[in-house]
Amino acid sequence: MKIVAIMGSYRKARTIDTLVDRAIEGVKSVAPNAQIEKITLVDRDIQYCRNCGVCRKDDPVKPIAHCAIQDDMQEILPTMADADAYVFGVPIFEGTVNAVTKTFLERICWTMAKAGRWPVKGCPEPRSPVKRQAIAILSSGIIVPALRVFCDDATSLIKSTIGDSLNAKLIGTLYAGGVEKVGIDRYLEQAHKLGQKLTS
Ligand SMILES: Cc1cc2nc3c(=O)[nH]c(=O)nc-3n(C[C@H](O)[C@H](O)[C@H](O)COP(=O)(O)O)c2cc1C
């Protein structure tokens, strides 16, 4: 089993980084032979999508469409295509994913998808027929879990992008809410269990 963990926080060894590591430990506790690659987005050269349209026009049979931007996504896209499952760790900024994660999602949107027919002709559908699974770990500084609905547009964005482009189903999420008030200790076990769920 190959798993790619996307670490979208700007801060290392803080909330998201710690919870993603805990989820990876959960994976390893039940699947010790799993190959896990963690990608820390801020360490990579990931430029903005330029809407040049090259990927959208590329041959729909190719597993990955050509991207005209020469940056680290040239290496990351094949890694994403080769994976069976994903971990997304994302801090919530202004109610949704932070900027580096949004940039990343925009870059996989059409490189990993082709124009489909549902729900509207031309919308992205996965290039890969291989069904995958994913979990997402979100964190917020202030808004506690009971109020998640008012704070978390990130989960729906991740769910739709990975469904449309990576053929990945979001099988579980952890919303680590209000970490500025409550800290992260209470979420560690939940992250571990979520990682275990990814191997099921
Ligand atoms: C620009 C910015 C916007 C933020 N927006 C929100 C928000 O809408 N709701 C919230 O509860 N916390 C918000 N936060 C707090 C972050 O969600 C919190 O610091 C982050 O989840 C902690 O993750 P980290 O320790 O991995 O950086 C914001 C932080 C920044 C810097």
CATH label of the domain that carries residue 35: 3.40.50.360
Secondary structure element (H or E) that encloses residue 160, with its range: helix 154-166
The separation between the first and the last C-alpha atoms of the chain, rounded to the nearest angstrom, is 11
Structural tokens at position 57: 């026009």
Nearest-angstrom CA–CA distance, 104 and 174: 20
Helix axes 99-109, 73-81, angle to 10 degrees: 70
Q: Is 16 in the pocket of ligand 1 (CB under 6 A)?
A: yes
Torsion of CA 57, 60, 63, 66, to 10 degrees: -10
Q: Is the pLDDT of residue 117 over 90?
A: no
Number of domains composing the chain: 1
Give 124-183 pLDDT, tens digit per residue: 999 999 999 999 999 999 999 999 999 999 999 999 999 999 999 999 999 999 999 999
Q: For 68-116, what is each residue's pLDDT tens digit? A: 999 999 999 999 999 999 999 999 999 999 999 999 999 999 999 999 9
Q: Is 142 in the pocket of ligand 1 (CB under 6 A)?
A: yes
CA of residue 157 relative to chain centroid, distance: 10
Render the burial of 1-38: b for 16+ CB within 10 Å, e for the rest.
eebbbbbbbeeeeebbbbbbbbbbebbbeebeebebee
Tell me what pLDDT residue 121 has: 93
Give the tens place of pLDDT for each residue, 46-72: 999 999 999 999 999 999 999 999 999
What band does 119 get if pLDDT is binned at 50, 70 and 90? confident
Per-residue pLDDT band at 118 (split at 50, 70, 90): confident
Pocket test for ligand 1, best of 16, 42, 93 (most atoms within 8 A of CB): 93
Q: Is 93 in the pocket of ligand 1 (CB under 6 A)?
A: yes
Using the atom order of ligand 1, give the atom closest to the CA of residue 143.
11
Range of the domain at 50: 2-198
Calpha distance 172→122 (Å, rounded): 29
| Ligand 1 atom with minimal separation from the 9 CA | 26
